[in-house]
Amino acid sequence: MQTLTLEQETNPWEAQAARFDFAARKLNLDEGIWKVLRYPAREIIVHIPVGMDDGSIEVFTGYRVQHSIARGPAKGGIRYSPDVSLDEVRALASWMTWKCAVVNIPFGGAKGGVICDPKKMSQGELERMTRRYTAELVEFIGPEKDVPAPDMGTNEQTMAWIMDTYSMHLRQTCTAVVTGKPVNIGGSRGRREATGRGISVVCDEALKYLGMPVEGCRVIVQGFGNVGSNSAKLLAEKGYTIIGIAEYDGGLFNSNGIDVPALIEHRSHAGTIVGFAGAEAADKDDLITYPCEILIPAATENVVTSRNADRLRCKILCEGANGPTTTVADEILADKRVFIIPDILANAGGVTTSYFEWVQDRMGYFWTEAEVNQRLDAIMSQSFQDVVAYATSHAVNNRIAAYMLAIDRVAYTTKQRGIYA
Ligand code: NAD
């Protein structure tokens, strides 16, 4: 096993590059195409002046990285967090390229981020920062160029501000510039729950594939934000037992199952999951090592590392977050025969419904929630089956299979288009 410091092990760009190189080698990828696909096509850094509520001016640093536009416009979320770094955004942008290719939708990959702490900023400060960030990027984004979406620390409101700012510069309303908008201004029905819904579909598929019943299937979820709460809610509706939920400020455990809608209700007025009467308090870091059938990390990167992977007791690791597992942890989990549903497959429900939103905006014709969900379910089931079939036929694990499938598709298009040099 490689010996890496924790800092090296948890660099998301290195983690992405290591998996990319491994999969590219397995594919026997042409050396030139390898170089083209390994690095992002464009990296933009902006320094955003923002008038703060107390009258002072703060300057925030923001990024937008466009990894590839080979298969269509670049696509990817915008993250507001104190931990944002260029390496993180680069990794997330590349993952978006692979993710869109795994589910076979016509997008490339991008990601954006601003180094800030949204929890400490007022709505007014967030709005001004978002508008100036958008103004700085106005010639680089657009429905045919690069289409942002929400990610950690951003939401429907953020997307509405981006859409409005972009539209003001264009002098016309342009809804298709971002996805994840509120439904009344061009958002898609089902988008809010889409990532969680996709996760529930791949969990169903994994149980079928492994011959395990839904009844008695214990699930632990880390992170109770958009992805975590919707995954927990939809899985509970399907009959799974949500026994544990971990948040940054504490964990909850109930072996009989947590009432997820009641917890959502509790969090909406308490502002935290802590203190919920329907479960006992549990240590948030220990919780992910409790025995369960499915563990869903749905918070952030690098939560399963060489430091804790050997203590995990799940049968299936379904990656709701992007990059939750390091490459060293992958090796440990392989030895423990944990069945991994990799991030670029598991959480692709969000971008798939974003694709539907972009399609609906450009048509100006909106689908019912049932139509959206039915199309999403079909794509997620098919993609799961494609990845496990690829893993079997190439004798690789699910993660490398997903990368190989994706790289193969992007490389094919890149070769077909040719290199404009
Ligand atoms: P979010 O901000 O809505 O929720 C994240 C939650 O995780 C928050 O409640 C936060 O308090 C919690 N959290 C953060 N660090 C934690 C820790 N160490 N332990 C426990 N809880 C922690 O963000 P989200 O949109 O749900 O995204 C979560 C992850 O899913 C990210 O990796 C994101 O890139 C990925 N993702 C999101 C979408 C989407 O549609 N929102 C799609 C694909 C992937």
Last residue of one domain, picked from the residues 163, 185, 207:
185
Task: Note down the domain range covering 112.
Answer: 39-185
Report whether residue 322 contacts ligand 1, using a CB cutoff of 6 Å: yes
**CATH number for the domain including 312?**
3.40.50.720
Q: Write down the residue that tokens 């990368």 correspond to.
A: 403
Which residue out of 99, 111, 233, 284 is catalytically annotated? 111
Section 64-83 average pLDDT: 98
What's the CA-to-centroid distance between 196 and ligand 1, angstroms? 11
Q: Is the C-beta atom of 178 inside 6 A of ligand 1?
A: no
Are 123 and 249 contained in the same domain? no
Q: What per-residue confidence (pLDDT) applies to 6?
A: 86
Please give the structure tokens belonging to residue 161: 């501000």
Tally the domains of the chain.
2
Burial of 101: CB neighbours in 10 Å, binned 0-12, 13-18, 19+ = buried
Give me the chain's average pLDDT, please.
Answer: 97
pLDDT over 70 percentage in the chain: 99
Q: Structure pTM?
A: 0.96
Other beta carbons within 10 Å of 237 = 11
What is the Cα–Cα distance from 9 to 39, expressed in whole angstroms? 19
Same domain membership, residue 180 and residue 48: yes
Nearest CA to ligand 1 atom 16: 248
Residue 45's CATH number? 3.40.50.10860
Question: Does ligand 1 lie within 6 Å of residue 81's CB atom?
Answer: no
Q: What is the pLDDT of residues 28-73, one digit of tens each?
A: 999 999 999 999 999 999 999 999 999 999 999 999 999 999 999 9
Residue 380 within any structural domain of the chain: no
Residue range 259-311, pLDDT digits in tens:
999 999 999 999 999 999 999 999 999 999 999 999 999 999 999 999 999 99
Render pLDDT for 341-396 as a digit per residue (tens, 0 to 9). 999 999 999 999 999 999 999 999 999 999 999 999 999 999 999 999 999 999 99
3-state secondary structure of 307: coil
Look at phi and psi of residue 414 and say left if phi exceeds 0, alpha if psi is from -120 to 50, else beta: alpha
**Predicted confidence (pLDDT) at residue 198 exceeds the cutoff of 60:** yes
pLDDT for res 2? 54
Alpha-carbon distance of 97 to 352, in angstroms, equals: 13
Q: Let me know if 111 is a catalytic residue.
A: yes
Give the bridge partners for 15, in sequence order: none
Give the closest residue to 94 by CA, choosing from 330, 343, 299. 343
Other beta carbons within 10 angstroms of residue 92's beta carbon come to 29
Domain boundary among 346, 369, 396: 346
Tell whether 118 and 43 lie within a shared domain: yes
User: Is residue 410 situated within a structural domain?
Assistant: no
Decide: 150 in ligand 1 pocket, CB within 6 A: yes
Distance 168 CA to ligand 1 centre (A): 31
